[in-house]
Amino acid sequence: MSGLPLSRAPIPGDDPPAPRPGGIAARALGLGQSAQSYLDKLNPEQRLAVETLDGPVLVLAGAGTGKTRVLTTRIAHLLATGRARPYEILAVTFTNKAAREMKNRVGDLIGGVLEGMQWLGTFHSIGAKLLRRHAELVGLKSGFTILDTDDQIRLMKQIIAAEGIDEKRWPARQLAGWIDTWKNRGLSPKDVPESDAHAFADGRGRKLYAAYQDRLKTLNAADFGDLILEPLKILRENPDVLADYHRRFRYMLVDEYQDTNVAQYLWLRLLAQGRENICCVGDDDQSIYGWRGAEVDNILRFEKDFPGATVIRLERNYRSTAHILGAASHLIAHNESRLGKTLFTDRTDDDDTAKVFVSSSWDSEEEARAVGEEIEQLQRKGHLLNEIAILVRASFQMRSFEDRFVTLGLNYRVIGGPRFYERQEIRDALAYFRVVAQPADDLAFERIVNTPRRGIGDATVKLLHDRARARRVPLIDAAEELIETDEIAARTRTALRDLIAAFNRWRGQVDHLRHTDLAEIILDESGYTEMWQADRAADSPGRLENLKELVRSMDGFDSMIGFLEHVSLVMDADSEASADAVSIMTLHSAKGLEFDTVFLPGWEEGLFPSQRTLDENGRAGLEEERRLAYVGITRARKRAYIRFASNRRIHGLWQTSIPSRFLDELPEAHVDVTEDTSTYGGYGMNAYGASRFDNRDPFQNTYATPGWQRAQKNRGGAAESTMGGYGNFSGPKSSQRYLEGELVAKSVVSGGSGYKAGERVFHQKFGYGKITGIDGNKLTIDFDKAGSKRVLDSFVERH
């Protein structure tokens, strides 16, 4: 049965009528008899979260506790009880995927397709919508373009150059980073604090930010940050506009509240001041985006920000075994900045569930091999590869797994690589479409003016820029003028004239052709398709295929403009691969997903927790890393395998690593520490000097590995680490930084190595060898057994 259009619901007055079970509203929504049945499917806490409709509500939803169910049922409940019409509900998410899922699931609940919920979307899409409505209030026109990261960087490069600043010393990327930070905090150029202004180019940061914003206005463009910042400005400075939205939004719902940044928070708070009916759902323990502006504080402070708020905890977990939950809970309990929840499960099949496995490998290749073997075993037992994931801290870790799986012939897919709309060929094609749709889009024009090569080089582009600036016209107009002069070579002039003529021709066809046909014509006539056909590179056929896919995907839109708007906001084009394959992804991209079996490799100090995060953010950084570990473990339904490797190649250098402190924070009761025999046996490792470990059980069923003990000592404040009885290897010479008594940073001291070429040395991984070259503290050594390698001096010793 498909539900009647929701707009048929009775029109409520200022105070919507109380719910009337079986009333017109409920029946129109297809909720007649089953009006209460959707509530019956909830547990008591979930039900409370759905039925507490008035006033501010914070739902602390732990991993796997039915967060989306609460959110969607709450919306359905608001609609079913006639409390609000679809367009009176503001529901914000972070990702398009989440927005889509919410829409679909509410649709399922009301028994049809959800229509009229025009304010359900991502922060950015709703921001864009607000901004288009009131663009003129901040100096934009409603049809503004939304710039992607690429465009932003190119624009900033121009601005930095225009200021006469050396772009090498002050890279545009860095400026982009600062501007992003400022926008995340809701700061316009004038609000940037003195301390921050000095962070870039000797205090010219603020000026560059202002220049960038000016330039955006001239281009009638907005970047992603503006989609939040500008609406905030509008709401702040225009009480009448704000009052209008207060009237409009009877109820507000926010997903993943722990990921909101300051600007988003301010935005929500302003809007919520109207009716105070704001419901935020989130999990402070899963806040892992601090580095891109998310403020855990927003969720920690909720009760202060919204006095009288109801806080509801969802702790009943429907996903994982008690062992997995026990391990994750014990780990996350080490964080101080948290509201505190403890997940539990009703599952009683614990007798045959596994504890969380912890094991080690000699190096990253060994690690990949061990995981590969484990997966093959699971596969033999009939497990689906689709139910297995490998979650890494940093993407460089993926490589060893890919290499291994290729040799094994094991199906895998990497999640979160370059997205469809970020690919070069797609961006180029889109740039053509943008110039057709919006001739003044200088950034798009610049991108494709010489792609494919038509002999319009840097010199000509500079000429165009100068003229455009002098005349205050778009580049394409400047080009049109320039071809009438003799300032450029005849050959270049012809090329430019042809290009402009082509754009005029395509523009003339906009109203006469279907936009998909026009798109094809543009790609053909511009020579763009031909360019890739002529390219002999291995990936060109794939690129051509992508271009076809792009044109196909335009079919779902009714105009070129509509399509472009979609693309700039929806940067994901997820094609659900159906083949059975192991998923490899970062911990960050795993948030929100779940698998039967999860492998968590690389739990080593420096990598996880990441040294850089520790150095830059100290204790807060450490807690965020710990939350990442928590997210990782809680992705598993039945099995979690945590691993660390003793040796890892980082930036081309072999480094010995210490097991992650997080391993120490797991409860023994829920953990199964296994000695990985391949660590010390096989692979001819004995030949490299590892044999001295042979007759020892390095774990003795507790964490007693050499590196582990060293880690313990370091944490206790012991000065130089020694290997206490485990041979004569000495760890890296290090300087340590303590914060509140806890080791947060440890960096290797650089300086002269003190070694000379020709010296014989011993290395724990590679054995004996002779130094053949020295570069600072990096040594090139010709090993007797392992060949020539580059290693840090602190990992070898004189023999």
Partner DNA sequence: ATCTTTCTAGTTTTT
Partner DNA sequence: CTAGAAAGAT
Residues noted as catalytic: 67-68, 255-256, 286, 635
**Residue from 73, 81, 122, 364 in contact with DNA (CB under 7 A):** 122
Distance in Å, CB of 97 to DNA, minimum: 6
Residues 485-504 that bind DNA (CB under 7 A): 492
- Binding residue for DNA, selected from 373, 572, 580, 720, defined by CB under 7 A: 572
Q: Which of 258, 345, 460, 714 binds DNA (CB under 7 A)?
A: 460
Interface with DNA (CB under 7 A), residue from 459, 534, 577, 739: 459
Residue 173 or 799: the one with the smaller Cβ distance to DNA is: 173
Query: Rounded to an integer, what distance in angstroms lies between the CA atom of residue 232 and that of residue 235?
Result: 5
Residue with tokens 């400047």: 478
| Tokens 């582009």 -> residue | 461
Please say which residue, 604 or 676, places its beta carbon nearer to DNA: 604
- Measured from the CB of residue 269, what is the shortest distance to DNA in angstroms? 20
CB 726 within 8 A of CB 691: no
Site string for DNA, 600-629 (x = CB under 7 A): ----------x-xx--x----x---x----
Closest to DNA by CB, 703 vs 795, is 795
Going by C-beta distance under 8 Å and a sequence separation of 6 or more, which residues neighbour residue 144?
A: 131, 132, 135, 220, 221, 222
The span from the CA of 319 to the CA of 308, in Å, is 32
Nearest CB to DNA, comparing residues 456 and 564? 456
The residues near 573 (Cβ < 8 Å, ≥ 6 apart) are: 419, 420, 421, 553
Amino acid identity at 641: Y
- Nearest approach, Cβ of residue 122 and DNA (Å): 5
Tell me: does residue 457 bind DNA (CB under 7 A): yes
Stretch that binds DNA, among 37-45, 242-250, 370-378, 452-460 (CB under 7 A): 452-460
Q: Give yes or no for residue 291 binding DNA (CB under 7 A).
A: yes
Distance from the first to the final alpha carbon of the chain: 81
Q: Which of 604, 594, 616, 168 is nearest to 394 (CA)?
A: 604
CA dihedral angle for residue 550, residue 553, residue 554, residue 558, rounded to 10 degrees: -170
Pairing of strands 582-586, 760-763: unpaired
Q: Which of 41, 247, 292, 799 binds DNA (CB under 7 A)?
A: 292
Single residue of 13, 44, 164, 652 touching DNA by CB under 7 A: 652
Question: Which of these ranges, 20-28, 68-76, 448-456, 634-642, lies near DNA under the rule CB under 7 A?
Answer: 448-456
Question: Among 532, 557, 528, which residue's Cα sits nearest to residue 542?
Answer: 532
- Among 442, 408, 457, 436, which Cα is nearest to 519's? 436
Q: For 143-181, b where at least 16 C-beta lie within 10 A, e where not — what string?
A: ebbbbbeebbbbbbbbbbeeeebeeeebbbebbbebbbb
Residue at 304: amino acid letter: K
Token pair recorded at residue 250:
């009877």
The only residue of 210, 270, 300, 394 in contact with DNA, by rule CB under 7 A: 394
Which residues have CB under 8 Å from 23's CB, separation 6+? 10, 82
Is 569 a residue that touches DNA (CB under 7 A)?
yes
Stretch touching DNA by CB under 7 A, among 75-83, 447-455, 469-477, 761-769: 447-455
Q: How far is the CB of 618 from DNA (least distance, A)?
A: 12
221-240 residues near DNA, rule: CB under 7 A: 224
- Phi then psi dihedrals of residue 738, to 5 deg: -115, 145
CA distance 623 to 621: 5
Strands 310-314 and 57-61, by their bridges, are parallel
Task: Candidates 188, 450, 553, 753: give the one binding DNA (CB under 7 A).
Answer: 450
Residue selected from 585, 598, 600, 636 as contacting DNA according to rule CB under 7 A: 585
Q: Which of 8, 198, 453, 548 binds DNA (CB under 7 A)?
A: 453
For position 32 contacting DNA by CB under 7 A, the verdict is: no
What are the φ/ψ torsions at residue 313 (nearest 5 degrees)?
-105, 130
Q: How many CB atoms lie within 10 A of CB 611?
A: 18
Q: Which is nearer to DNA, 652 or 725 (CB)?
A: 652
Would you count residue 583 as binding DNA (CB under 7 A)? no
The residue from 53, 571, 581, 723 that contacts DNA (CB under 7 A) is 571
Nearer to DNA, 456 or 629 (CB): 456
Radius of gyration of the chain (CA): 30
Q: Which long-range contacts (CB under 8 A, 24 or more apart) does 537-545 make?
A: 543/423, 543/424, 543/425
Q: How far is the CB of 769 from DNA (least distance, A)?
A: 14
Q: Which of 505, 600, 587, 520 is nearest to 555 (CA)?
A: 520
Query: Tokens 């110039």, residue?
Result: 435
Task: Report which DSSP code applies to 115.
Answer: -
Q: Give start and end residues of each alpha helix (H) in 281-393.
A: 296-300, 302-305, 322-332, 364-380
Touching DNA, residues 68-107 (CB under 7 A): 94-97
Size of interface with DNA, in residues (CB under 7 A): 46
Beta carbon nearer to DNA, 38 or 200: 200
Q: Among positive and negative, which fits the CA dihedral 427, 431, 434, 438?
A: positive
Quote the CA–CA distance of 581 and 578 in Å, as a whole number. Answer: 9
C-beta of 82 vs 121, nearer to DNA: 121
Say whether the peptide bond before residue 16 is cis (omega within 30 degrees of 0).
no
Closest to DNA by CB, 33 or 788 = 788
Q: How far is the CB of 444 from DNA (least distance, A)?
A: 17
* Cβ proximity to DNA, 174 vs 730, nearer residue: 174
Cβ proximity to DNA: between 149 and 310 the closer is 149
CB of 525 to DNA, least distance (A): 19
Q: How far is the CB of 680 from DNA (least distance, A)?
A: 25
Q: Which residue among 419, 471, 514, 552 contacts DNA (CB under 7 A)?
A: 419
Task: Single out the segment in contact with DNA by CB under 7 A; choices: 68-76, 112-120, 569-577, 670-678.
Answer: 569-577
How far apart are alpha carbons 439 and 618 in whole angstroms?
Answer: 48
Q: Is 704 helix (H, G, I), strand (E, B) or coil?
A: coil
- Using rule CB under 7 A, residue 768 touches DNA: no
Site track 398-417 with DNA (rule: CB under 7 A), x = hit: ------------------x-
Which residue stretch of 76-84, 455-463, 655-663, 754-762 sits at the interface with DNA (rule: CB under 7 A)? 455-463
Confirm or reject binding of residue 686 to DNA (CB under 7 A).
no
Q: Which of 353, 395, 494, 722 binds DNA (CB under 7 A)?
A: 395
344 DSSP 8-state letter: B
25 or 262, CB closer to DNA?
Answer: 262
Spatial distance between the Cα atoms of 488 and 491, rounded to a whole number of angstroms: 8
Cα angle 585-98-253, degrees, rounded to a multiple of 5: 135
Binding stretches for DNA (CB under 7 A): 94-97, 122, 124-125, 149, 167-168, 224, 291-292, 393-396, 416, 419, 450, 453, 455-460, 492, 569-572, 585-586, 588-589, 610, 612-613, 616, 621, 625, 649, 651-652, 790
